[in-house]
Amino acid sequence: MTIEQANAYFVSLPEGFAPTRQLQEALSAKAGRVDYLGVAGTAGKTTAAALTAAVLRAAGLVTGSYHAGCEPLSARIRVNGEPVAPELLAQAAEILSARETLPRAAAELAAAARCFGEAGCALAVVELPDAGLAEALPKMPVCAVTSIGPDGISASLERSAALAAGVMRKGSICVTAPEQPKAVVSELIVAAGKADCELVVPDPDDITFLEAEKFASRVDYGGYTVPLAFLGRHAAGSAAIAVELALALCKKGYDIPDEAILEGLAAVENRSSIRVLSQRPLVVLDACRTPQQAIALLHVLNMAKVRHLSAVIGLAEEEGAEAFFSALESGLTAETQKKDRTTMPGMSENPFDKVFLVPPAGTDAAMTERLLEKARYHFDAELCGSLAEAVELARANSRRGLLICGGEAIALEAADLLAEK
């Protein structure tokens, strides 16, 4: 099997859930020698995982990482920061394709674990959009629950927290984000008690934002002072998680010097969070697609006193879109808006003069038409047939610059498009 065939195999797999036993049986003996760090939550998984993996590499540990994104799987499984060797992934795909079919998320995790075992990784940081997959991983001394917030779909914060708490294991140390809602912290405390897992909650008072240029971030967490490629309080929280995960691993017997923590945090390239490509004109990319992420983005733009942007939005799903548009307009959660009767759709002051909607590759154009109707409750919105057309119109209609957001797929497509210009 070639690497192209391997990538195509994983794309072809169905969505769904796999029994723990089925996933465990798909792992190899070598995969069982790796210590895994599972990262769950509704926002910040990619940032926290990337920062943690960089710290481990800086400490001299052979480190694997798995990102549950939309790029080909060969780009999302990494060993020591580099894409996994094609022959390892192709071999894993051949073995898995000959077994009982696993759902895509489980199959990707199984393939990643097999690759980490073959590459001799000591540790592997794995994103878990389904935290229940953690139960199948052989060893997990440390894990994380990143920021829990409204995703526009889940019934409650408590439910989201309970699902993310599935990453906890007996005897492990779980680090969660600072400034979690009280309902989330309460749920995680109960879950940690049931799992016999130690819970570490970073103190938000230990996070200090130091002076830096506009759209630059310099943060101190408990004496660890670093420049971050990531912007905003959510990103600072992810850095705090990475620091506490490193300290937790020290408790578990790993040697991770302070210098490695500082080096790792400062070294990570931002490909997932709020990313400023240029200042004049201002061009911002963000993979945000949930209300929680939209609120974080709007906070950063408002703190920088940015106005008169055009926004290009490429949401890949209709579910939760209304809550996303509402949060991007007002910077408020649905609950806060219900309490504040003065908040009306289309009336909030925000950085966007106009919004251009575009269907990401592979999505239904008719769905984007329905999204347009939702967006028009909040913005002056227009539908475009392609990202290139949307970017051109956004630039022509902007007095300050443009934002491109709506998910990882549209952000990556935009990065490639803008690099060609």
Q: Which residues pair with 309 in a beta bridge?
A: 352, 401
Q: What residues are paired with 218 via a beta bridge?
A: 227
DSSP SS3 for 16: coil
329 pLDDT above the threshold of 90: yes
pLDDT tens across 381-420, in order? 999 999 999 999 999 999 899 999 999 999 999 999 998 8
Q: What is the pLDDT of residue 234?
A: 87
Quick check: 121 and 79 in contact, CB under 8 A?
A: yes
pLDDT tens digits, one per residue of 95-135: 999 999 999 999 999 999 999 999 999 999 999 999 999 99
With bands split at pLDDT 50, 70 and 90, how would you rate the model's confidence at 216?
Answer: confident
For residue 187, pLDDT over 60 is answered with yes
Strand 142-145 to 35-40 pairing: parallel
Give the model's pLDDT for residue 212: 59
Q: Using alpha carbons, select from 247, 191, 287, 203 the residue that is nearest to residue 37.
A: 247
**Residue 99, pLDDT score:** 94
**80 phi/psi in degrees, rounded to 5:** 55, 40
More confident residue, 17 or 58: 58
Give residue 380's pLDDT. Answer: 96
- Looking at residue 339, its pLDDT comes to 56
Strand order in the sheet with 352-357: 275-279, 282-285, 401-405, 309-313, 352-357, 381-383
Q: Are strands 282-285 and 275-279 parallel, antiparallel or unpaired?
A: antiparallel
What is the spatial distance between Cα 192 and Cα 169, in angstroms, rounded to a whole number? 8
Using DSSP's 3-state secondary structure scheme, residue 51 falls into: helix
pLDDT for 5-19, tens place per residue?
Answer: 999 999 999 999 989
**Looking at this protein, which amino acid is placed at residue 82?**
E
Q: Kindly report, residue by residue over 254-309, the tens digit of the pLDDT.
A: 999 999 999 999 999 888 789 999 988 999 999 999 999 999 999 999 988 999 99
Q: How far apart are CA 223 and CA 55, in angstroms?
A: 16
How many residues comprise the chain? 421
DSSP 223: T
Judged against a pLDDT cut of 90, whether residue 335 lies above it is answered with no
CB-count burial class (<10 Å; 0-12, 13-18, 19+) for 397: middle
Phi, psi angles (nearest 5°) of residue 413: -60, -40
pLDDT in tens, 88-97: 999 999 999 9
Burial class for 136, CB neighbours closer than 10 Å (0-12, 13-18, 19+): buried
User: Per-residue pLDDT averaged across 320-333, rounded?
Assistant: 92
Tell me the domains of the chain and their CATH numbers: 3-267 (3.40.1190.10), 275-420 (3.90.190.20)
Return the half-sphere exposure (C-beta side, CA atoms, 13 A cut-off) of residue 241.
Answer: 36
> Alpha-carbon distance 390 to 195, whole Å?
49
Query: Going along 135-270, which residue ranges are E strands?
Result: 142-145, 173-176, 198-200, 207-209, 217-221, 224-228
Q: What is the pLDDT of residue 265?
A: 96
Query: pTM for the full model?
Result: 0.93
**In what helix (H) or strand (E) does residue 35 lie, and over which residues does it extend?**
strand 35-40
Rounded Cα gap, residues 218 and 232, in angstroms? 10
Q: What is the mean pLDDT of the chain?
A: 93
Exposed, middle or buried by CB within 10 Å (0-12, 13-18, 19+), for 380? middle
Per-residue pLDDT at 364 exceeds 90: no
The answer, yes or no, to whether residue 145 has pLDDT greater than 90, is yes
Contact (Cβ atoms closer than 8 angstroms) between residue 139 and residue 61:
no
Name which of 189-203, 219-233, 332-346, 372-386 the model is least confident about: 332-346
